[in-house]
Structures are given as structure tokens and as C-alpha cells.
Amino acid sequence: MPEIRNYTLNFGPQHPAAHGVLRLVLEMDGEVIERADPHIGLLHRATEKLAESKPYNQSIPYMDRLDYVSMMCNEHGYVRAIEKLLGVEAPIRAQYIRTMFDEITRILNHLMWLGTHALDVGAMTVFLYAFREREDLMDCYEAVSGARMHAAYYRPGGVYRDLPEKMPQYQASQWVTGRDVAARNETRQGSLLDFIEDFANRFPGLVDEYETLLTDNRIWKQRTVGIGVVSPERALQLGFTGPMLRGSGIAWDLRKKQSYAAYDQVDFDIPVGQNGDCYDRYLVRIGELRESNRIIKQCIEWLRANPGPVMVDDHKIAVPSRDEMKDDMEGLIHHFKLFTEGYCPPEGEVYAAVEAPKGEFGCYIVSDGANKPYRLKIRAPGFSHLAAMDEMVNGHMLADVVAVIGTMDVVFGEIDR
Amino acid sequence: MSSGSQNGMQGRLDQLASTLEERFSDLSCQVERSCGEVTLVVPTDKLIEVANTLHDDDEFGFNELIDVCGVDYSDYGISEWQTDGAPNTGFGRGVAEQAGDEPEQNRRFAAVYHLLSISNNTRLRLRVFVDTDQPIVASVVPVWASANWFEREAFDLYGILFDGHPDLRRILTDYGFIGHPFRKDFPLIGQVEMRYDEQQARVIYEPVSIDPRTLVPRVTREDNRYLNEDDTTQDAADA
């Protein structure tokens, strides 16, 4: 019998299944993993150090670039920490807008996760379906902030502006003719809320489509059931949050337990898994897609009925309107001060967290009373999930590493920061 | 908004603060309350003892470690612009770093831990100041496994050493990186830059060729809204 040696395999950093720039050094015994050592930091941009050299508001766009598939949730965590430090609270309409866009973001993130996870494991079609729906949600981002991904829409004290009354329309071009344009614009005749409502009405059927492809699929189950099992005790020890924790059967969700924005005003459930394997985490996230859709519908209803301000009326923090700036001396001074210097929150330290699609996204800010944060620490959920890589893949086959990376929903923007 | 749950949370935190006071005051720990959060300042040598109690005791039940990070307090409270009273030369655009007071002995580096109790639904922050010349603190990996990578990160970025850590390597910076980049005396633009050298046919490192510049100076303004800080923040948090 030939002698079999253990060998070390380098996986990534440029590998389509590594979801970004993950370098894994795997010690293998044949095809079985003995030890996995993830090397991270290839996308490290020192966001936290950069934030120390900028006024508070100028770091909001950096937050979009952390977890770049759940942009607004990151902004929400940061903005909430600043608001806590300043002792201000956004108007109720802004809270509902944030709730709605957090859930739109959750759907965006979970669709991205579902598509890529399934693609890694060998199912191509789900990816195409998921990206079809992401397109509509990106349009919502664009309508409200002008950017399809990096929105910078949430601001301390509210949101940048109210929801638009008109959706941007497709134009006829050399490639797209009149009839196609009309078909594409059909759902875009009304306001943004009409567009989102149309989406929310269609979406449960679309989730059924994904489930038809995967939930009872033999190959999908063979690849995910019993893979990467984490017991509830270990999940807590390892600092898991979000769907990774709920997949192990712990019903912990910051939206319910430490409620923020308008989450205590809307009705939704927390999907929880039982076995803590990849398949249960899949079911949890599919359940979250449906729950997010429920929340969005309730927000639409409320936002239709309750117009109002979306930003606090304190011009030490929020920019005055254009008219005010042009007509009023004080408005001009406020505008000038805000854009040249920013605002100085009181001395102190805060930690504020939101339930981002991947888990608990928190910001710890130390302020010494200056116009820039003294220290900003971003607590990214993916960081502690990836730290458990070794434990989760130990004893599994090489192909299961890909399934485990998929189920963790890692995005290197937030892990490397 | 969410005032009902907020009040419940405040009540739980008040109770937590008084229990902490009771249990840990003889270990010379200090309890601080601000912005509706509880902070426990722990002496360096008592960390493991306190951590074990917080983890194991059902009264606290802090079974999840959410975050560990380092903080460098050496520039704390130093502005780049003097703002009280205009000098007769007016304000210049130039930014001169003002020499601040040296932080108190062994008050430069701190490790900050954020704990979460799922059973009691409370959060707690621990702060441990470490020695400036030999920044060593005990590792909490035996208590909370999730500390592993967070402590590696704090070591990498601040040079805080965690005694008893199973595998204290750099984590975020490049292979072969020198220095601890998040320390306040490490320049934002870094020390070295990298380029491909045609002659040597390899990537080489050179000292940075750009000058650091400050776009918006760091200023601290006295704001009378925050002057009676101790009363007002508490009121705001309770409201």
C-alpha cells in the first residue's frame, strides 16, 4: 500500500468560491480537512483609522463600503452610534424609512447570499433568479439616494431626503425599442412606494420559485444537511450573531430584543433553525426573506398615511434646506460650519448595534469632544463567523469548505475593514 | 419610539450597575454609567477573575463576547486648532500639532471588551488599562473563544500582547509588516510605499513620498448644550 502523506493546500486569495479575497491554508489528510487557517486582511483599508481623521459625517460613505452588499444597514449602525452620542432621535417618519430600507437591504443581501451559495454548491439557476430581483431593489436605492449601491442615505438625525414621488424611467435607445421600454416602465408610473409595493406583492411568489429549486432538491440537501454543524453552546462561545446563531436554535434578534428604529411598531417573526447545519441556516434566511417582505408592506402602509419631516430640525447637526441657506444668514452660517468643520458631540463613548443581514453590526465610538471620532471600532459580524472556520470545517471534505464559506455569508469589505 | 423597551433596558442596566458595584468593588473595579451604558474598569491583574465570574455566574450570564478592541489614549483631548478666542493674526490654515500632556502613567493603551448577555438581555463594557512600555494583558480566550481573532487584531493594530493567547499572530496587516498602524504616533499615510521595480524585476518597498495633510483640522468646541454633562446625559438617557 502506498504511503499517504498529509499535505497543505492553498485556497485563494483569488478563487471564485472564496467570496472575495480569502486565503485559506488547509492541512489535508487525503481529502479530509485537518486544519484550516484563514488569512485575512487582503482588503484591509484601515477604515477605522481613516474615520479618525475626518468629521463624523464624512465617514458615512465608508460604511457603505464595509459590507458592500448590505450598505444601508452599516450606515444605520454608524448613524445610530452618533445619534446616541449626540442624544438626538430621528423623526418617526425617518425611523420608518430606515426600517423599510433596512429590510430592502436584508433582501438584497440574502438574495446575493442565496445566489452565490447555490452557485458554489453547483446550482446555477438560482443565481440568475436572485439577480433579477436584486435589480429592482437596486432601483429603489437609486431612486432614493441617486446611487445603486453606495447610498450614503442615512444621516445622523434622519435620512438625507424624503421618498421621491416619481420613479426614474427607462428611455428608448438603440438597443431597447418602444414596446420593451413601455413594458419595463409599467411598474414605474407611480411613486417609489408604489414601485416597492408592486415588488412586495410579487416577492413571496419569487421566494417560492427559489424554494422549488432548492428546498427539496436532493443534491442541495446532500451538500448542506449535516455540514458545518454548530451547537448552540458553541455558537455563543464563538460569538455568532444573526442567522448563524438562529440557525443553531437560539432565537436572538436585536430587532426584537433591543429594538430600534420602528421595529417595535411592526409585526414579524424570527425564523429559528434546529440542527445548526448549513441547511438550517438556509431555511432561516429563506424565512427572513419572507419576514422582511412582511415588514416592508407594513412600512409602506404607514409611510403612505403619515407624511412628515425626515430630518431633525437642529441645524447644528442637520443641514438647513437650500432655500434657508440662500435667504437666511443663520442658515448660511450653519451650512458653512457643517461642511467645513462638522459638529462636536460631547465627550464620551457609545456602542450601538443593529441587526444587519449577517448578524450584529456595531459601532463603538470614543469621542473626546472634537469634531472627529477619537476612536471608531467597527464590530463586523462576519469577522467572528470566519474565525470559527477551523472549527466548522474540521473533519469535513474539501468540497464542504465551499459550502461552509457560503453559509457564513462572508464579505471581505467588513471582515478586513 | 421604543420607549417601553428602552425603560426596561435602563432598569436592567441600573440593576446590573449596582450588582457590579457590590460584587467587584473589593477588586478595585470601577463602575461608570454614561449614555445609557455600563462600563466596568478592571485592573489588569484582575481581568481573568472578573471575566470568569461574569461568564459563569447566572446573575450576570455574559455568555457572549461581542467585541475586543484596543484604544490608544495618547492624543486624547488634543485639538489641532485653538478655538477659544481668536488670535490677533486670525486663524491660519496651517495645522500644527499641539503638544498635549503625556497621558497619565500607564493610561495610554486600553483593551476594551463588549459583552452581551443573551439570558438577561444586557450589555457591558470592560476596560483594562495596560502598561505603556510593556502592554501585556491576560488573554480571555479560555473564557470566550470568540476573543481569539479580536485579540489578534488588537495585537496587530496596537501592539497589545495577550498573555496565554494560543496563536498571537498578525491578522489584518501585510505579511512582514512593521509597526502597529492604529497607534496615534503611526502616520495615516503609513511608513512605506510599494512599487514594481523594472530593474530588479520585483516589488520593492520605499519610504513614503507623499506628505501628510489635514483637510479638516481637529477642533473641540465648547457647546453649552453639553456643559452640565453629568446631569443632562443621564436625563436624556432616561427620557
pLDDT at residue number A363: 93
The length of chain A in residues reads: 417
Q: Kindly report whether the peptide bond that precedes residue A320 is cis, defined as omega within 30 degrees of 0.
A: no
pLDDT at residue number A199: 92
Nearest CA in chain A to B122: A258
State the smallest CA–CA distance between residue A379 and chain B in angstroms: 6
DSSP string, B182-201: TSTTS-TT-SEEEEEETTTT
Reading phi first (left if > 0) and then psi (alpha if -120 to 50, else beta), residue A327 is in alpha
Distance CA A210, CA A272 (A): 19
Distance CA A199, CA A292 (A): 12
ipTM of the prediction: 0.88
pLDDT at residue number B3: 46
Nearest CA in chain B to A363: B67
Q: What is the DSSP letter of A303?
A: H
CB nearest A364 (choices: B64, B67, B182): B67
Distance CA B181, CA A49 (A): 9
CB nearest A257 (choices: B77, B121, B171): B121
Contact B149 A384 (CB under 8 A): yes
**Model pLDDT for residues B48-90, shown as the tens digit of each residue:** 988 998 898 888 889 999 999 999 988 887 777 766 655 555 5
Distance CA A26, CA A116 (A): 22
A294 CB-near residues (< 8 Å, 6+ apart): A266, A267, A268
Residue in the structure block whose three cell numbers are 496596537:
B158
Cα angle A312, A317, A319 (rounded to 5 degrees) comes to 80
Contact A368 B182 (CB under 8 A): no
Contact A258 B5 (CB under 8 A): yes
End-to-end CA distance of chain B: 11
Contact B188 A49 (CB under 8 A): yes
Residues 82 to 111 of B: which have CB under 8 A from any A CB? none
Taking contacts as CB-CB distances below 8 angstroms, the residues of chain B near A49 are: 181-182, 188
CB nearest A351 (choices: B64, B114, B220): B114
Q: Are B129 and B137 in contact (CB under 8 A)?
A: no
Give B64's strand partners. B116
The length of chain B in residues reads: 239
Taking contacts as CB-CB distances below 8 angstroms, the residues of chain B near A263 are: 2
Distance of CA A138 to the CA centre of its chain: 13
Mutate to test the interface with B, among A66, A317, A368 (most CBs of B within 10 A): A368
Q: For residue A33, what is the enclosing H or E element?
A: strand A32-39
pLDDT at residue number A205: 93
Distance CA A194, CA A200 (A): 10
Q: Are A43 and A62 in contact (CB under 8 A)?
A: no
Q: Are A314 and A307 in contact (CB under 8 A)?
A: no
**Model pLDDT for residues A335-357, shown as the tens digit of each residue:** 998 988 889 898 889 999 999 99
Determine contact: B36 vs chain A, CB below 8 A.
yes
Q: Are B162 and B155 in contact (CB under 8 A)?
A: yes
CB nearest B76 (choices: A40, A362, A368): A368
Handedness of CA B135, B137, B139, B140 (dihedral sign): negative
pLDDT band at B238 (very low <50, low <70, confident <90, very high): very low
**Model pLDDT for residues A213-256, shown as the tens digit of each residue:** 989 889 999 989 989 899 999 999 999 999 999 999 999 999 98
In tens digits, chain A (417 residues) has pLDDT values of 667 677 888 887 888 777 878 898 988 888 889 889 999 988 999 999 999 999 999 999 999 999 899 999 999 999 999 999 998 999 999 999 999 999 999 999 999 999 999 998 888 889 999 998 999 999 999 999 988 889 899 999 999 989 999 888 888 888 888 888 888 888 888 889 999 999 999 999 999 999 999 898 899 999 899 898 999 999 999 999 999 999 999 999 999 888 898 899 999 999 999 998 999 999 999 999 999 999 999 999 999 999 989 999 888 888 888 888 899 999 999 999 898 888 989 888 999 999 999 999 999 999 988 889 999 999 999 999 999 999 999 889 988 998 999 898 889 988 988
Q: For residue B5, what is the enclosing H or E element?
A: helix B3-24
**Model pLDDT for residues A99-155, shown as the tens digit of each residue:** 999 999 999 999 999 999 999 888 888 999 999 899 999 999 999 998 888 989 999
Distance CA A354, CA A375 (A): 19
Determine contact: B227 vs chain A, CB below 8 A.
no
Distance CA B37, CA A353 (A): 13
Taking contacts as CB-CB distances below 8 angstroms, the residues of chain A near B65 are: 239
Contact A375 B71 (CB under 8 A): yes
Torsion, Cα A194 A196 A201 A203, to 10 degrees, reads: 160
Q: Are A24 and A389 in contact (CB under 8 A)?
A: yes
Contact B171 A417 (CB under 8 A): no
pLDDT at residue number B232: 45
Distance of CA B196 to the CA centre of its chain: 37
pLDDT at residue number B88: 58
CB nearest B35 (choices: A46, A237, A350): A350
Q: For residue A93, what is the enclosing H or E element?
A: helix A92-121
Burial, A322: exposed, middle or buried (Cβ in 10 Å; 0-12, 13-18, 19+)?
exposed
Backbone φ and ψ of B38, nearest 5°: -110, 130
Distance CA B208, CA A145 (A): 37
SS3 assignment, position A154:
strand
Determine contact: B207 vs chain A, CB below 8 A.
no
Backbone φ and ψ of A120, nearest 5°: -60, -35
Half-sphere exposure for B195 (CA within 13 Å, toward CB): 8
Cα angle B116, B118, B122 (rounded to 5 degrees) comes to 50
